[in-house]
Amino acid sequence: MKIAILTLPFRTNYGQILQGYALQTVLSRMGHEVEMLDDPYFSWDYYLRYPLMCVKRTFEKFISGKKDVEIFVPEHVRIRQHTQDFIDKHIHRRVVRRWDSRLASEFDAFVVGSDQVWRPKYFISGNRPDMGIAFLSFASGKDVKRISYAASFGTDECEYTEDQLVECRQLLKKFDAISVREQSGVTICKEHFEANATHVLDPTLLLSAEDYMSLIPKDCPKSEGDMLVYVLDENEQVRNYIDRISQKNGLAPFRVNAKKHEAGVPLTDCIQPSVEKWLQGFKDARLVVTDSFHACVFSIIFHKPFICIGNKDRGMSRFDSLLRTFNLDHRFKEQSDDFYNDMASFDWTEVDEILGRKRDESMLFLHNGVTCKK
- What residue ranges do the domains of the chain occupy? 2-43+78-207+357-371, 211-343
Please determine whether the domains at 2-43+78-207+357-371 and 211-343 fall in the same fold group of CATH: yes
Correct CATH for 2-43+78-207+357-371 of 3.30.750, 3.90.550, 1.10.3470, 3.40.50: 3.40.50
Strand order in the sheet with 253-255: 253-255, 227-230, 287-290, 306-309, 332-333
Q: pLDDT averaged over consecutive 10-residue blocks of the chain (374 residues)?
A: 96 96 98 96 58 70 70 71 95 95 96 96 92 97 95 95 98 98 97 98 98 97 96 90 90 91 75 96 96 96 92 80 92 59 78 98 97 74
> What integer pLDDT is reported at residue 55 of this predicted model?
74
Query: 81-90 and 275-284 are packed helices; what angle lies between their axes, rounded to 10 degrees?
Result: 100
> What integer pLDDT is reported at residue 49 of this predicted model?
63
> What integer pLDDT is reported at residue 348 of this predicted model?
95
Residue 59 phi, psi (nearest 5) = -60, -45
Q: Please choose, from the candidates 47, 59, 54, the residue with its C-alpha nearest in 3D space to the C-alpha of residue 75.
A: 54
Q: What is the DSSP letter of 117?
A: T
Determine the straight-line distance between the first and last CA of the chain, rounded to whole angstroms: 14
Q: Residue ranges of the alpha helices (H) in 147-264? A: 162-172, 183-193, 209-213, 236-249
Would residue 225 be called left, alpha or beta, if left means φ above 0 and alpha means ψ between -120 and 50 degrees? left
Q: What is the DSSP letter of 289?
A: E
Angle at 134 between CA 47 and CA 12, to 5 degrees: 55
Q: Is the Cβ–Cβ distance between 225 and 245 less than 8 Å?
A: no
> What integer pLDDT is reported at residue 209 of this predicted model?
98
CA distance 292 to 319: 9
Class of domain 211-343 (CATH, top level):
alpha beta
Do β-strands 145-151 and 332-333 pair in parallel, antiparallel, or remain unpaired? unpaired
